[in-house]
Structure 1
Amino acid sequence: MFKKILVPTDGSGLAAKAVETAVQLAKTQSAHVVGVYVIDPFPYIGIGDASAVGLQAYLTEAKSAATRALDGLSKVCAASGVPFSGDTIERNVVYEGILETAEAEGCDLIVMGSHGRQGVKALILGSVAQKVLTHAKVPVLVVKER
């Protein structure tokens, strides 16, 4: 049924639950797992050398977090015998990066964690999962916190 499953990850505990679910599903379907970590661009535009130093420190930490998250996903896939490929991308809007990756990789399912925002934050900010659900052209499985 599913041949290529996209798993966006941010390295959080909830993302780890989505990883477990995606890998179990991929194993039953003989599917390939594609991991993606979307880096938000540097949030501060300053003047002078301080902004260049801040940008470099931010990108170094973001790439390190991406490597840790994708390595974790890779290990879970390897332990289950599920084929894996992963990439880190930088996009202004995280959900758009997820959707672009799904399309570019030919994924037929997206499995991701729900961030569980509630109240005013959810109304103002929305969630990445909600945006992916709204705009995805393929099925989306949202793994909720238990």
Structure 2
Amino acid sequence: MKAWGPILATTDFSGPARHAADRAARLAHETGSPLTLMHVMPGEALAELRQWLGSGHATEGRLVEDNRQQLQQLAERLRTQHHITVQVVESSGSVLDEIRQQAEALDASLLVLGARGAGFLRRLVLGSTSERLLRRTSRPVLVVRQTPHEPYRRVLLALDFSPWSVQAVSVALRVAPHARFVLLNAFQVPFEDKLRYAGVDTATIDHYRVQARAEAVQRVNELAAQTGLKPGQWEACVIEGDASQRIVEQEQERDCDLVVLGKHGQSATEDLLLGSVTKHVLAEGSTDVLVSTARAV
């Protein structure tokens, strides 16, 4: 496989963060990409510690040294198990800013972090910090929640046919080149409730539903051809309903081990796949989530 760009994995040494580091190492081995393992000591926590104990207290030095040893030990394990080169980076300050700056310095092709961390990584994934990171970065973000035992084998690609969809497929092919892809589009009849309220008969609404499904199937096939997916490499899943609910349902029903989302929906005001859908999939789903943050031009 052709080498990809650098991979940046962040860790706080929690169990989920170790899963993320293992997945990042596997991807580095599979793609021939350099891996950087990063730990950030949160600036707010350090400031609070200094307020209580005073600047330069021995406890701070012991914490820094303990983190350094854990980082080195984790890096050495990844080197040995996955036969890769791992660079380590230690920093302190604003976690979001430090990660973004390091990603820029490396020109990272992928950011990897755990779905449930201890402290800052938990807030990073589940809180407003993750949204700010995704809004500001043009780099794909992989949120790991499973223990990685093998390469990704079955990937659910959530498509809304926005400019982000093509790039989402491209990134997914990099992360899971040998997987079977499920191309999912959740369609709805526009303004169905209002149509019913306005007295539009059921037969007419059902006609619209058939049209919406047929159009979605056509667009899924066109996108598969556009992105170079081969017959036998993918299957279509065109289903009616709310996107966030259908993604989680199909992820589980089809035994997928990765869900791929584009950054935005059809318009900047919707923020469809960055906002409510991503939050729902992270909260209710059971598999890893890859958010592609670039759009086709």
Whole-Å Cα distance in 2 between the matches of residues 65 and 103 of structure 1? 26
Q: Which residue of 2 aligns with 1:128?
A: 277
Question: Are the equivalent residues in 1 in contact too, given 2:179–2:233 (CA < 8 A)?
Answer: yes
Q: Deviations over 1:102-121 (max 9, x none)?
A: 101100000110217878x7
- 2:256 aligned counterpart, secondary structure: coil
Q: Deviations over 1:53-98 (max 9, x none)?
A: 65145324421331133103432311xx77111111112x321101
Q: Which residue of 2 aligns with 1:88?
A: 238
Tell me by how many angstroms 1:47 deviates. 5.5
Tell me by how many angstroms 1:127 deviates. 2.7
Q: How does 1:103-142 map to 2 (within 5 A)?
A: 103-115=252-264, 126-142=275-291
Q: Which residue of 2 aligns with 1:38?
A: 186
Q: Which residue of 2 aligns with 1:68?
A: 218
- 2:239 aligned counterpart, secondary structure: strand
Q: 1:139 to 1:68 in 2, by over 3 A?
A: same
Q: Which residue of 2 aligns with 1:10?
A: 160
Q: Which runs of 5+ in 1 are unaligned?
A: none
Tell me by how many angstroms 1:24 deviates. 3.0
TM-score w.r.t. the length of structure 2 is 0.41
Greater relative contact order: 1 or 2 (C-alpha under 8 angstroms, separation 6 or more)?
Answer: 1
Whole-Å Cα distance in 1 between the matches of residues 246 and 291 of structure 2? 17
Question: Are the equivalent residues in 2 in contact too, given 1:33–1:83 (CA < 8 A)?
Answer: yes
Question: Are the equivalent residues in 2 in contact too, given 1:4–1:108 (CA < 8 A)?
Answer: yes
Whole-Å Cα distance in 2 between the matches of residues 84 and 22 of structure 1? 12
Q: 1:99 and 2:245 equivalent? A: no
Q: Which residue of 1 aligns with 2:229?
A: 77
% same residue: 25
Q: 1:12 to 1:43 in 2, by over 3 A?
A: farther
Question: Are the equivalent residues in 1 in contact too, given 2:257–2:288 (CA < 8 A)?
Answer: yes
Question: Are the equivalent residues in 2 in contact too, given 1:23–1:33 (CA < 8 A)?
Answer: no
Whole-Å Cα distance in 1 between the matches of residues 243 and 193 of structure 2? 13
Report the AA paired with residue 46 of structure 1: Y
TM-score w.r.t. the length of structure 1 is 0.77
Larger Rg: 2
Whole-Å Cα distance in 2 between the matches of residues 2 and 83 of structure 1? 13
Report the AA paired with residue 97 of structure 1: R
CA RMSD of aligned residues (A): 2.6
Whole-Å Cα distance in 2 between the matches of residues 115 and 64 of structure 1? 23
- 1:87 aligned counterpart, secondary structure: strand
Equivalent residue pairs, number: 136
Whole-Å Cα distance in 2 between the matches of residues 17 and 132 of structure 1? 20
Q: 1:68 to 1:12 in 2, by over 3 A?
A: farther
- 1:10 aligned counterpart, secondary structure: coil
Q: Which residue of 2 aligns with 1:23?
A: 173
